[in-house]
Chains A and B, each alone.
Chain A
Amino acid sequence: MGNHLLLTILGLPVLGTFILILIKEEKSSVLKTISAVVTGLQLWIVIQLISNFDKSAGYLQFVEHFSWINLLNIDFVIGLNGINLLFLVLSTVIFFATVFISWQLGNRQKSFFVLMMLLNSGITGLFIAFDLFLFLMFYGITLFSMFLLITLFTSKSENINNGYFGIYALISFCLITIGILVINNQSPLSGFNLSTLTRNPEALMNIQTGGFFIFLIGFLLIAPVVPFHTWLVPAAGNSIASVSILLLALFSKISIFGILHIVIPLFPQSSIQFALIFGILGLVSILYFAFCVFSFPQYRKIVIYFTGFLNAFIYLGLSALLSIKHQNLDASLTGLNGAVIQSISAGLLIVIMVILPKIRRTAQDRTPASGSNRWAVMFMMLMVLLAGIGLPGFLNFIGQFLCLSGAFHMLSTRIFSVIALLGLILVGVQFFKIIRSTIQATNEFDFTTDLSEMSNEVIIVAVILIALLLLGIFPETVLQMIDRSVYSLIEYITVI
């Protein structure tokens, strides 16, 4: 297994899906145990990958390359660079946590765990695929399994609202398919292999603008970004908490991964030329979502809009690509590093934010048995909220700071960074209100949400919080991992 870590990490959820399908619905403990074992093994492999990862290298590592369909020049290529590795870590941690959070799930346990494992296969494959056709396959699996999870595991009967997500996902898939067809048509000899395509940039010169926008819109359709965000509240607001975690913490990061993995490397010229679009999208989203967070008293909605708010910083960070035009590579490096770190920290933060009402309930539980731990839980809850605001010392702060700093270097986007701070203030005010309401135990905010399936939440929150804190204090650990890959990407764009 040592030589085929990536194949194993991809194969495990695929195998897990088939095994779960064969198990009877009544054997819920077996279903949960298998899911836990599969995700646990994935986590162990990720740790192996991190420890064996050469941080000083910007090239692909752990590459598995098989000729798949010679007729069409399609290869099975999977590999890892620093960026992919961090996204893989995020997905593995979230899936592992979700299994334990959903331990007390009532109805349709089998459907949930099968779909979750299918989603796991899709997202894991997506994050390591270096062939466009392979990417498309995993993208389709991801979209479909997420749609089914949202629709089948809704806490309300208003399924019609989930149709928005279905339509957006469908159009997104079609656009990505069209984009891949166009690329293949322009460069038939390169096939679908991403590395080969990036080695022959001349082949895609004619479709720089068209290809860029097809892929960009395709990915943005499933991103919580204004104006493509209308699916967000119906999908996340009606789902059970476990599905909300998968959607808000993980699924919402696919678009940014797609942009970093496909759009920027394949369409470097347009990425620089239209980098301002990223900045505008980021700024508008920051302001819009911050205002929404500020205005709503329902905690569930606050978390949903807060996801959009955190994601918006990533796009602001991407606008730093503009500085490549002026040979300011450091600014781009800062912005892109910030974008990657913000993706990871936002994902982890959202997991604990969704669980927070359950923690709050535990904290307010005044039975003598839980009394001794009450203050510890209350402290944990306050830390979560402070981390949400971007308190220095947490990874979230580093991500936001780097994104703002990257955008600040260019004159045209400098104003964006300044205005974005207004959004931070609005969110900060609202979060301080939540903290006050929690300490004073007032009913200022509506925390009502169905959390019956949740369990093990205190341990999960504690572990993630400690991780965010440690990584926030020692951000070099993460930065070293992605720095070389991000630098190679910027260097490549600059040469083109």
Chain B
Amino acid sequence: MNNFLSLHYFIPEFILLLNVFCLFFSSEIKQRHLIKIRQILLIVSVVTFAALNLIRWFDHPCGLFYNSFVHDPFLNMFSIILLCVFLIFELPELWKYWSSGYTNDLLQKLIILTASILLLEANSTIGLLLCIGLIYIGNSIIMNRFSHLNTDNRQITVDLTIQILLFGLLFFGFSIVYGFTGSLYFHTAQLPAAALLESPLNFCFLTLFLILGLGLFGIILPFRTLHEDHHQTYHVKYYGSSYFLPFIALFGSLIRILNGIFPMIRNYGAVPGEYMVFVIGLSICLIAGANFYYFKKKTINDLFVISLIIHYGLIISGLAVFTKEALTVSIYLIISTTIILSGIILLQKSDKISTQSKLIKTVFYLGLIGMPGTPGFTGRFLLLRALYNGGVPLRLIVLIIISILPIIYFYTVEIISLHRIKTVHPGIKILPVPAFLAFFTILMVIYWEPFIQLITKSLVFFN
């Protein structure tokens, strides 16, 4: 349905928005009972949001609100993923909020969570650009508000410039879409198949702007958030949710847009060779570039940054064939990468290393290496299989494999140095969230098939 009656599908997002407004307008409230009500409202909202998404996920309902926002199982899945990522990083904040009612830190992140979910719902160019704008603004506030030691305006200027640049790229990309199709709505903005077949370069040109516009955020931001300078000034894990939430949402949105505007891929199940080579080339360049960057700067934070970029490059390569199998694996890989890197970031601040954290770190590092028995191996193997079965030539597959070899070597070296550090036993507490994440990565391998099936079932778009 595509009218006012479909509004009830969007109740979970309204609940989150309600909380954002509630937190914003009630930040000056001092009365204890009102603070308590606000706290209960937030907890109930989060639980309701998760429950509604879970229930509707398996019912497979689809709704479109006047062409602007879409609700389908694809959104349900990503909403749950985003909520989980939010909870991974913000559990301490939520606890602080529950015990003291302190709200300032939480508000910005809740805005980013809501904006990320709305971004995944956006079915029109205007809605999408608005959501991205909201994310960028929220992100800039967080980055500059809390890097309190950095008092000059240079950093603010650089961050804003980057985000405006990305915004410009996207704007240009969507102008091209509009020029081709005459529609601002993704489900009707279908590029004419004949035109695409005649000139596959249109594919490449358009994809370049979309991938760069939506993807550069995931590539550039780690340098701003996880880089050493920031790491020294503020706890790196603080930035986790403000980075990972948009990173995942932008990728989900990219899938939705491409699925909408490239009907030829969906309907005919074939992609032009030029487009395929272009996307694979883009991802190889990204991976190779990240590896070269690490050759120059060899700090552990740089390694985390390049791992993010390299995995993003791998994930993008799934778009080259755009088959259901490839998209499923790309999503599996983005989930596993997020979990592993979140775990590493949460562990990163410990100066001393205990036996437990050494073990957990080893599990995460093995995952990034792609050791058999970890989601890293499963994801990469399935992705390569999907690409090969989707028609990507073997030489390109070999190039992808070669491009990821350096990161395997880098992390192997890290594991060796990790095991040469002497462990400390007393005074180190067990970290429950990283331990749970390490356990979850193992679960992702053991229950690999149900995971993949769940993602495959969720790849249902509003048509």
A167 to B408, CA, bound (A): 10
Contacts of B385 in A (CB 8 A): 72, 181, 184-185
A174 to B371, CA, bound (A): 12
A180 to B420, CA, bound (A): 35
Q: Verify A69–B388 contact, CB threshold 8 A.
A: no
Contacts of B371 in A (CB 8 A): 140-141, 144
Contacts of B423 in A (CB 8 A): 25
Give min CB distance, B446 to chain A, whole Å: 11
Give min CB distance, B372 to chain A, whole Å: 4
Question: With contacts A69-B448, A138-B372, A181-B388 known, is A174 near B401, CB below 8 A?
Answer: yes
Q: Verify A178–B377 contact, CB threshold 8 A.
A: no
Residue A281, interface by CB 8 Å: no
Contact bitstring B373-384, A, C-beta under 8 A = 1, else 0: 100010001101
Question: With contacts A137-B373, A174-B401 known, is A188 near B409, CB below 8 A?
Answer: no
Q: Which residues 348-402 of B have a CB within 8 angstroms of A?
A: 355, 359, 366, 369, 371-373, 377, 381-382, 384-385, 388-389, 394, 397-398, 401-402
Contacts of B416 in A (CB 8 A): 148, 151-152, 159
Interface size, chain B (Cβ < 8 Å)? 32
Q: Verify B389–A188 contact, CB threshold 8 A.
A: yes
A25 to B359, CA, bound (A): 13
Q: Verify B389–A177 contact, CB threshold 8 A.
A: no
Interface centre among B355, B369, B401 (most CB of A within 10 A): B401
Contacts of A217 in B (CB 8 A): none
Contacts of B137 in A (CB 8 A): none
Contacts of B373 in A (CB 8 A): 137, 141
Q: Which residues 78-106 of A have a CB within 8 angstroms of B?
A: none
From A70, A148, A182, B415 is in contact (CB under 8 Å) with A148
The chain A residue with its CB closest to the CB of B370 is A140
Contact bitstring A132-157, B, C-beta under 8 A = 1, else 0: 01001111110010011001100000
Give min CB distance, B301 to chain A, whole Å: 23
A108 to B419, CA, bound (A): 9
Residue B449, interface by CB 8 Å: yes
A427 to B356, CA, bound (A): 50
Q: Verify A181–B397 contact, CB threshold 8 A.
A: yes
Q: Verify B409–A166 contact, CB threshold 8 A.
A: yes
Question: With contacts A136-B372, A137-B377, A170-B405 known, is A182 near B394, CB below 8 A?
Answer: yes
Residue A71, interface by CB 8 Å: yes
Give min CB distance, B276 to chain A, whole Å: 16
Residue A439, interface by CB 8 Å: no
From A24, A140, A147, A170, B377 is in contact (CB under 8 Å) with A140
The chain B residue with its CB closest to the CB of A171 is B405
Residue B87, interface by CB 8 Å: no
A148 to B377, CA, bound (A): 18
A69 to B397, CA, bound (A): 23
A144 to B394, CA, bound (A): 25
Name B's interface SS. Answer: helix
Question: With contacts A69-B448, A140-B372, A144-B371 known, is A177 near B388, CB below 8 A?
Answer: no
Q: Verify A152–B359 contact, CB threshold 8 A.
A: no
Q: Verify A177–B384 contact, CB threshold 8 A.
A: yes
Residue B282, interface by CB 8 Å: no
Contacts of B381 in A (CB 8 A): 133, 136, 177
Q: Which residues 396-451 of B have a CB within 8 angstroms of A?
A: 397-398, 401-402, 405, 408-409, 412, 415-416, 419-420, 423, 448-449
A72 to B449, CA, bound (A): 9
Residue B452, interface by CB 8 Å: yes
Residue B3, interface by CB 8 Å: no
Contacts of A138 in B (CB 8 A): 372
Contacts of A182 in B (CB 8 A): 388, 394
Residue A21, interface by CB 8 Å: yes
Contacts of B452 in A (CB 8 A): 71
Contacts of A139 in B (CB 8 A): 372
Residue A61, interface by CB 8 Å: no
Q: Verify B419–A71 contact, CB threshold 8 A.
A: no
A133 to B378, CA, bound (A): 10
A181 to B385, CA, bound (A): 6
A148 to B418, CA, bound (A): 12
A141 to B402, CA, bound (A): 20
Q: Verify B372–A21 contact, CB threshold 8 A.
A: no
Q: Which residues 419-475 of A have a CB within 8 angstroms of B?
A: none
Give min CB distance, B370 to chain A, whole Å: 8
Residue B267, interface by CB 8 Å: no
A178 to B401, CA, bound (A): 9
A69 to B408, CA, bound (A): 26
Q: Verify B372–A137 contact, CB threshold 8 A.
A: yes
Q: Verify B405–A174 contact, CB threshold 8 A.
A: yes
A136 to B401, CA, bound (A): 15
Contacts of A24 in B (CB 8 A): 355
The chain B residue with its CB closest to the CB of A24 is B355
Residue B99, interface by CB 8 Å: no
Q: Verify B398–A178 contact, CB threshold 8 A.
A: yes
From A21, A25, A181, B384 is in contact (CB under 8 Å) with A181
Give min CB distance, B299 to chain A, whole Å: 20
Contacts of A111 in B (CB 8 A): 419
Residue B453, interface by CB 8 Å: yes
Q: Verify B394–A178 contact, CB threshold 8 A.
A: yes
Give min CB distance, B345 to chain A, whole Å: 23
Contacts of B377 in A (CB 8 A): 137, 140
Give min CB distance, A149 to chain B, whole Å: 11
A-B contact pairs, 28 of them (CB 8 A): A25-B355, A69-B448, A70-B449, A71-B452, A72-B382, A136-B372, A136-B381, A137-B373, A137-B377, A140-B371, A140-B372, A144-B366, A144-B412, A148-B415, A148-B419, A152-B419, A152-B420, A170-B408, A170-B409, A171-B405, A174-B401, A177-B381, A177-B401, A178-B398, A181-B384, A181-B385, A185-B385, A188-B389
Known: A24-B355, A133-B381, A178-B401. 18 other contacts (CB 8 A): A69-B448, A71-B453, A72-B382, A108-B419, A136-B372, A140-B371, A140-B372, A140-B377, A144-B371, A148-B412, A151-B416, A152-B416, A152-B419, A170-B405, A170-B409, A181-B388, A182-B388, A188-B389
The 9 A-B pairs at the shortest CB distance, nearest first, are namely: A140-B372, A137-B372, A69-B449, A174-B401, A181-B388, A151-B416, A141-B372, A185-B388, A71-B449
